[in-house]
Structure 1
């Protein structure tokens, strides 16, 4: 299932960013020189498909990814505009950092990235934790979207 988000109505996360910072957690855009580190971390914690999408984020200018780090170690990431234009994802937080507020800040940061590109709405593709997205940014299901963009949308050439 895919979900739709109003990008002109995102929550303010400035206080949460500050709280995370006080706990030693930084949310930032990675540098191009960190592509291999981010891709390796995503591959260890999530999916090879997500590695491919994450690498695409580094081909964008600015890089269409945010990462969360604690003591120079990655603990989460959120990409946007990689699977398709206007899409959020992939996104994930390491198990040790879940329920810490990191996911919320990464989510809103990436959605702000979409908004800054001029989008009024964003699509969260192939949603896992639908309740999280609904609660955090008011995302709503897109009727009839299952299985969404992840199906083979181009027919095979006929011989």
Structure 2
């Protein structure tokens, strides 16, 4: 059973993930694997540094004392990371939209995108996350024109 941390009524609560599909295994890419290993090594350094003050919660992302990270603090840290990286500041949730847009741009099948994004219904994937760029729209119209016998490239 998988859990997520949510702030409800001013308190941090551990809640079950929304759907059974959220619990399905998902392979991780090398970039994420490296980041998780670095996080684990950082936790080991903190555990050594803070000794008895360290709380072993078993969570992957924690404070330096091993405690649960408040979602608001994570959002603040994410904003700071965006500034440090010199990229536009977006919300953590917007990274799901970014991931979906990248999956669309890579021509990933919608059912696969649905599994990756952990949507319980394909309509969610198709209606919310499948924004197509103008370049892709032009290419689709070019292919349509070519199919209909128009060889001119505009």
TM-score (norm 1): 0.27
Q: Which has the larger radius of gyration?
A: 2
Q: Which has the higher strand share?
A: 1
**Higher relative contact order (CA closer than 8 Å, sequence separation 6+):** 1
> Which structure: greater helix fraction?
2
Q: TM-score, normalised by structure 2?
A: 0.28
